Structure 1
Amino acid sequence: MKQILTIKKVLNNNVVIAQHDVYKEVVLIGNGLGFNRTKGEPISFDKADKTFLLKDEKEKEQYVNLLPYIEENLIGFTHELLLFIEKEMGKELNEHIHVALTDHLAFAINRAKKDMQFSNPFLYEIEALYPKEYNVAQAVVQQVEDRMAISFPEGEIGFIALHIHSAVTDKSLRDINRYNILISQLVEIIEANLDLQLKKDDVDYHRLIQHLHRAIDRAHQGQPLGEENKLEEVLKKEYPVCYNLAWKLIKVMQNQLNKPVDEAEVLYLTIHLQRLLHKS
């Protein structure tokens, strides 16, 4: 069903403010959407138009305030990138990504033009945790580099992957970053206690990171793992070092998350840790 809205203000060729029956004032974003349009004109909005609708009051205000500082060709290009991300991820994006990604790309392009290099300390972890988002972010970075004739540092892929993950899961970037910092702390504890240097490109490292991430998610959602009493006795006896370290990690997670962590997580962590120790 086509929704007919009334234009209140044309902000540029790609962005208009319109009157919506349900959401009142909304921001419509689409390539060429505002071209040759005037106030009071009807404008249709439906998914076939490949138009994004910003209805959240805060996001709308932030986006409108951001526009004067962004080159108009970048706004249209970001719209194309968001359509690409949505198609590749196969999910609708939370509208906060319009503000976040437009803002992020504007700064990143500016940094690249000034040849300001920086690193992303969580790059391996992000790739291990969000492989699909990471692959899509790689393609996005390639498109930006080609279109803008610039070169991004590799860390940029990780940052864009986090924006994508945030938009498809409705998690805030703050929470995602908090979890990544916690995972890094847990990795440091593992390396110190087992006296080894984990290889970040190793498949077992990826498995450990994914398990820690899922354990944090389960704790956050209050999902139990189920009891494995017999296995616990075996692991406690066979791998006391890894078993005790697993308990230490669980305690750190509980303190940082301020939530209970299912005790059964200890068993699976012990197996991951033993695998890493055996390999070293």
Structure 2
Amino acid sequence: MTHVLTVSKALNNNVVIAQDPVLDEVVLIGKGIGFNRKKGDTIEASDAEKTFLLSDKKEMEQYQYLLKHTQPELIEFLNDIIFYIEQRMDKPLNEHIHVALTDHLSFAIKRADSAIHFNNPFLFEIESLYPKEYQVATEIVEKIKGKLAVDFPAGEIGFIALHIHSAITNRQIRDLNKHHLLITKMVDLIEENLDVTLEKHEVNYNRLIQHLHRAIDRVDQGNLLGEENSLKKVLKMTYPTCYNLAWKLVKVMQKQLNRTVDESEVLYLTIHLQRLTNKI
């Protein structure tokens, strides 16, 4: 059965806003799909390479603004980039990426042309925590370099990887950055209390941030590890320094996330910190 929509507005030759009888207002993307289209024309859904819904009115307005103030050739290229991400990640993307990544990359290209660079303080952590997203982001940077002769700084790979991770997990960039800031704060506390300097490119550091990341996620999602009363007594007596530091870290998590942390997290952190001290 043919799925027919009604054109509301052709934003450029490759992007059309249309009325869907079920979904209401949708965005259709496809090469040449908007050429000579006008309001009231009918269009088949199969004519589009991609159909997505931007239910948030502000996002729709932002997307229209982006298309109006960005060269159509660049929009077409960035749409191809988003299609590429979906294929490489082999997962559905939150439709917000069409606004967020298009906005980010269009401005990043302008910044690169003006030799304006932003530092990414979480670059190593992003590469460690989201390796597949980081790899795809690296490929995207190469595609942009090949197509537009734009050289992005290394930090830009991290920003793009975050957008990809946000799109496949339906999590806001600001929440991801909040977690990265928390990890940084906890690592600083560990270094200060254990009087060590952790090298970012060493395996121990990678394992530590992986563990902290999983702990933060568990706390944020309200997942409990379960009671370990017998282990608690042993760890508290055997490794008092690491046990007390683990409690400090948990209190930081509680404050930053505004959530109660399962006491079992203290025990697992104690074990990890003790392993860390043995390898320093």
Both structures adopt the same fold (TM-score exceeding 0.5): yes
Contact 2:219–2:259 (8 Å) recurs in 1: yes
Secondary structure, aligned partner of 1:259: coil
Contact 2:33 2:48 in 1 (8 A): no
Q: Which residue of 1 aligns with 2:49?
A: 50
1:39 aligned onto 2:39: yes
Alpha-carbon deviation of 1:51? Answer: 0.9
Name the TM-score, length of structure 2 as normaliser.
0.94
- Contact 1:54-1:60 at 8 Å conserved across structures: no
Matched AA of 1:74? L
In 1, Cα distance between equivalents of 2:178 and 2:147: 33
CA distance in 2, matches of 1:192, 1:129: 23
Hey, what's the Cα distance between the residues in 1 that align with 2:264 and 2:139? Answer: 39
**Equivalent position of 1:209 in the other structure:** 209
Across the two proteins, how many residue pairs are aligned to each other?
Answer: 279
Residue 94 of structure 2 contacts residue 167 of structure 2 at CA under 8 Å; is this kept in 1? Answer: yes
Matched letter for residue 230 of structure 2: K
Q: 1:2 to 1:172 in 2, by over 3 A?
A: farther
Shift of 1:52: 3.1
Alpha-carbon distance in 2 for matches of 1:52, 1:245: 51
- Deviation by residue 1:173-205 (Cα, 9 ceiling, x = unmatched): 111111111111111111111111111112221
Moved more, 27-36 or 139-148: 27-36
Cα RMSD, aligned residues only: 1.7
Percent of aligned pairs sharing the same letter: 59
Does the residue aligned with 1:147 lie in a helix, a strand or coil?
helix
Matched, 1:271 2:259: no
| TM-score normalised according to structure 1 size | 0.94
**Superposition deviation, residue 2 in structure 1:** 4.7
Q: Over residues 221-276 of structure 1, what are the superposed CA-to-partner deviations in whole Å (9 max), with x where a residue is unaligned? A: 11101222333233222222111101100011001111011111112211221222
2:12·2:67 contact (CA, 8 Å) conserved in 1? no
CA contact (8 A) 2:120 2:155 kept: yes
The aligned counterpart of 2:234 is 234
**Pairwise mapping of residues 163-182 of structure 1 onto structure 2 (< 5 A)?**
163-182=163-182
Gaps of 5+ in 1: none
Deviation at 1:158, TM superposition (A): 0.6
Q: Which range is displaced more, 106-115 or 220-229?
A: 220-229
Distance in 2 of aligned mates of 1:264 and 1:246: 11
Residue in 2 that maps onto 1:91: 91
| Shift in alpha-carbon separation, 1:7–1:21, aligned structure 2, 3 A | same
- Verify the 8 A CA contact 1:134 1:157 in the aligned structure 2: yes
Counterpart AA for 1:54: L
> Are 2:11 and 2:68, in contact at CA under 8 Å, matched by a contact in 1?
no
Shift of 1:30: 2.7
Q: Unaligned regions of 5+ residues in structure 2, if any?
A: none
CA distance in 2, matches of 1:63, 1:31: 18
Q: Residues 12 and 217 from structure 1, CA distance in 2 versus in 1: closer, same or farther, beyond 3 angstroms? A: same
Change (3 A) 1:160 1:200: same
